[in-house]
Chain A
Amino acid sequence: DQQVKQNSPSLSVQEGRISILNCDYTNSMFDYFLWYKKYPAEGPTFLISISSIKDKNEDGRFTVFLNKSAKHLSLHIVPSQPGDSAVYFCAASAVGNQFYFGTGTSLTVIP
Chain B
Amino acid sequence: DGGITQSPKYLFRKEGQNVTLSCEQNLNHDAMYWYRQDPGQGLRLIYYSQIVNDFQKGDIAEGYSVSREKKESFPLTVTSAQKNPTAFYLCASKDRGGELFFGEGSRLTVL
A is bound by B: yes
One of B12-20, B60-68, B72-80, B101-109 contacting the partner: B101-109
Decide yes or no whether B110 CB sits under 8 A from chain A. Answer: no
A42 interface residue per 8 A CB criterion? yes
The answer to whether residues A41 and B99 also contact, given A89-B42, A104-B42 and a CB cut-off of 8 A, is: no
Main secondary structure of the interface of B (DSSP, over half): strand
Question: Quick one: which of B43, B90, B103 has the most chain A CB within 10 A?
Answer: B43
Asked whether B53 is an interface residue with its Cβ less than 8 Å from the other chain, the reply is: no
A91 at the interface (CB under 8 A from B): yes
Report which of B40, B88, B98, B103 forms a contact with A93, defined as CB distance below 8 A.
B98
Q: Does A103 lie within 8 Å of B58, measured CB to CB? A: no
CB neighbours (8 Å) of B48 from chain A are 98
Q: Does B51 contact A (CB under 8 A)?
A: no
B100 touching A42, Cβ below 8 Å = no
Residue tally, chain A, CB below 8 Å to B: 24
With A42-B104, A43-B103, A98-B48 as known contacts, state yes or no: A103 contacts B41, CB within 8 Å: yes
- B43: A residues at CB distance < 8 A: 44, 89, 91, 101
Contact with B along A33-62 (1 / 0, CB 8 A): 010100001111110010000000000000
Complex Cα gap A100–B45 (Å): 8
Chain A residues engaging chain B, CB cutoff 8 angstroms: 2, 4, 6, 9, 32, 34, 36, 41-46, 49, 89, 91, 93, 98-104
